[in-house]
Amino acid sequence: EVYSLGEVKAKAGVSSLREGRRDLPGAKQFGPPWRPPHLLSQPTEAPAGQSENMTAKEMKRQDVDGIAAFQRFWLGLDRDFWVLAAVVLCVAGLFFLHTIFAVRLATWWRAEMMPLERPEVEPCFPRGWLSDFLENRGLTTVNAMGLTMALRTAFACSLLGLSYTIQRFNTINRGCFTMQEVAVVIAFSVDVSLGLTIKNWWETLVGTLAPALNIIVMFHFFPLGVQTQFDKAWYFGVVDFVAFAMVFLLLKWPAGSCMFALSLQVSYTMNFLDPHSLVVYSDGLTTLNLAGAEVGALASTLVALLVALLIMAPLPWCFTPTALGHAQEDAIRLAWREGLLWRKLAACLSG
């Protein structure tokens, strides 16, 4: 049985479905029929019980709020919030473990490369089979390492592209989360060493998180965005975008953060200012929507970190480029060369 919006308001005792969705009595029998999140971005006709005078944007918001009414709240936060929080914790844990493992594995074996038995031989450190193969073809060490990382990234992105070619995996890209966004973040994050890759990813995360929080605040004050030209929401959106852009341009944020923040905020603001836009956004931190465009961008950034860490992993590449490992190599070479000078000096003085 489907109730009209007025009946739902009367039974819930609130002025809007959005205000009362946390404690809506018998929420499972109220609101519009449930629709999959990936269909929320498509216009719909007014179902039975909805007013024909409602705009498509109002029906869209009612659909989103109706789906939210089915969710359970824990500690004042909805299910989608805890799902995203669980993803963040998993990514953080894997990031911590992988970093420790990769750095440890990339540094411990270098001490074994010290030529103690043959001190006349200069230490030579392996770069991995792919880099060694490229060096044997005439490339320098620096160019071979750069090309190696490029090939690793290309291979990983090609695997992500299988989600578009294999029909079984097409559902991954039906919502706001897409493997295309993951590949973009990877392309701008992966660098020649593990530390630089993590640094680039943090800049990307800041550039993704800032516009996400900003658009959530905008839709919190104006859940339907701009409904008519030059209304209060329109002026609010314009002023907000100008202020947001000035903060990132005048305060000299890192280039990666500025690029992602401004590019995403342009898209978010255009959807906010468009009276006919049906793109879904969350309207509060405690009521996050996994179908929201800003949540999809955040999820893509988190998944991109995991893929980037796999690209930098020692297996199957047999080498993890780290700044600490390079420093160890330089220290070992310097110690060997200094020892060589002392041996030559001793041989010269002894006649």
- Contact between residue 275 and residue 234 where contact means Cβ atoms under 8 Å apart: no
In a domain, 214, yes or no: yes
pTM flag (> 0.85) = no
Which amino acid would we find at residue 5?
Answer: L
Helix axes 293-311, 141-160, angle to 10 degrees: 130
Identify whether residues 156 and 236 lie together within a single domain: no
In a domain, 22, yes or no: no
Structural tokens at position 285: 């931190």
Give per-residue pLDDT as tens, 197-212: 889 988 999 999 999 9
Q: Determine the longest span between alpha carbons in the chain, in angstroms.
A: 106
- Cβ burial 21-30 (10 Å sphere, 16+ → b, else e): bbebeebeeb
Residue 32, preceding peptide bond in cis (omega within 30° of 0) = no
Identify whether residues 200 and 135 lie together within a single domain: no
Confidence (pLDDT) at 145? 81
Identify whether residues 208 and 243 lie together within a single domain: yes
Confidence (pLDDT) at 248? 93
Question: 187 burial class (0-12, 13-18, 19+ CB within 10 angstroms)?
Answer: middle
Give the list of residues 6+ apart from residue 90 with CB closer than 8 angstroms, or none: none
Domain that holds residue 158: 125-174
Confidence (pLDDT) at 299? 85
Give per-residue pLDDT as tens, 71-127: 555 555 666 666 777 777 787 777 777 777 766 766 666 666 565 556 667 777 767
Confidence (pLDDT) at 210? 94
Q: Which candidate, 156, 155, 145, 151, places its Cα nearest to that of 192?
A: 145
- Bridge partners, 77 (sequence order): 74
Sequential pLDDT tens for the chain (351 residues): 444 444 444 444 444 444 444 343 433 333 344 444 444 444 444 444 444 456 666 666 666 655 555 555 555 566 666 677 777 778 777 777 777 776 676 666 666 656 555 666 777 776 777 777 888 888 887 788 888 888 889 998 999 888 888 888 877 777 677 888 899 999 999 988 888 888 998 899 999 999 999 999 999 899 888 988 889 999 999 999 999 999 999 988 999 999 999 999 999 999 999 988 888 888 777 677 777 888 888 888 888 888 888 888 765 555 677 777 778 878 878 888 888 888 888 888 886
CA distance linking residue 110 with residue 256, whole number of Å:
33
CA distance linking residue 220 with residue 236, whole number of Å:
12
Identify whether residues 86 and 104 lie together within a single domain: yes
In a domain, 34, yes or no: no
283-to-20, 56, 57, 76, 251 alpha-carbon distances in Å: 14, 18, 14, 15, 28
Confidence (pLDDT) at 3? 43
Identify whether residues 187 and 303 lie together within a single domain: yes
In a domain, 319, yes or no: no
CA distance linking residue 74 with residue 80, whole number of Å:
11
